Amino acid sequence: MRSFASSLAHAQEAVLDLETGDVESLAFVSGLVALRTIIPEVTTKALGVSVTVESDGSLIVEIEDLDIDPTTQAMLNLVASHYFQARRWNLFVSVH
């Protein structure tokens, strides 16, 4: 858990200066936060990342040229969705 919290903290620091004023930008940044949290060793600059906002407000993160197992993919989507909703409603993101 400590490793996850550390990865999340570093991921949030990495995207502090990115624009999140609209839903699409916030969704993309949320996808990057999830990717850097779950797979911190992956360089996001070298990947094609797309994020889809579902009608229920959850996110689907798709990464080109990276083979991700279903469990990791589900975790990426979960972390991205949680971060997206928390930031959207101006709530603190915490690890518990």
Q: What is the pLDDT of residues 73-91, one digit of tens each?
A: 999 999 999 999 999 988 7
Which 8-state DSSP code applies to residue 96? -
pLDDT tens by residue, 35-63: 999 998 887 777 788 999 999 999 999 99
In a domain? residue 69: yes
Number of C-beta neighbours around residue 63 at 10 A: 19
In a domain? residue 63: yes
In a domain? residue 48: yes
pTM for the model stands at: 0.86
Range of the domain at 64: 2-88
The Cα 54–Cα 38 span in angstroms is 21
Sequence-ordered list of residues with C-beta below 8 angstroms from that of 36, at least 6 positions apart, any chain? 7, 10, 11, 14, 42, 44
In a domain? residue 95: no
Domain count, the chain: 1
In a domain? residue 94: no
Nearest by Cα to 84 from 29, 38, 36, 39 = 29
In a domain? residue 24: yes
